[in-house]
Amino acid sequence: MRRHHISDTAIQDVIKKAIRKAGIPKFATVHTLRHSFATHLLMNGVNIREIQELLGHKNVETTMIYTHVLRDMAGAPQSPLDQI
C-alpha cells in the first residue's frame, strides 16, 4: 500500500487559491490558520500546555505568543459565528 504525501508548497497553493476565490482581501497563509486555531482554543479556555502539545512547540514560551492576542481582544465584541 502506497502513501501519497502532499508537499508544503501544494498546501500553501490550495490555501492561496481558496482565499482568492472567497474574495478575502487580506494576506493569509497556512500559518494564519494555525494562529487562529490556537487563539480560538485559548479564548475557549483550553489550557496553554494542551495547546503547546497540539502545536508541537518544545517550549511553552513559544505558545505564549498567542496570549497577547487575548489581551488585545479583551473588550472586543464576539461574533455569533464563534459560538457555533
**What is residue 67's predicted lDDT score, i.e. its pLDDT?**
73
Domain ranges in the chain?
15-73
Among 45, 34, 44, residue whose Cα is nearest residue 78: 44
In the prediction, which pLDDT does 74 show? 60
Query: pLDDT tens, 23-74?
Result: 999 898 888 888 888 888 888 889 989 999 999 989 988 888 877 766 666 6
> Is the CB of residue 12 less than 8 Å from the CB of residue 29?
yes
Query: Binning pLDDT at 50, 70 and 90, where does residue 77 land?
Result: low
Indicate the SS3 state at residue 81. helix
Q: Would you call 66 exposed, middle or buried from its count of C-beta atoms within 10 A (0-12, 13-18, 19+)?
A: buried
Better pLDDT: 44 or 77: 44
Contact in structure between 14 and 30 (CB atoms under 8 Å): no
Quick count: other Cβ atoms within 10 Å of Cβ 63?
21
Work out the average pLDDT over 5-9: 84
Residue 8 scores a pLDDT above 90? no
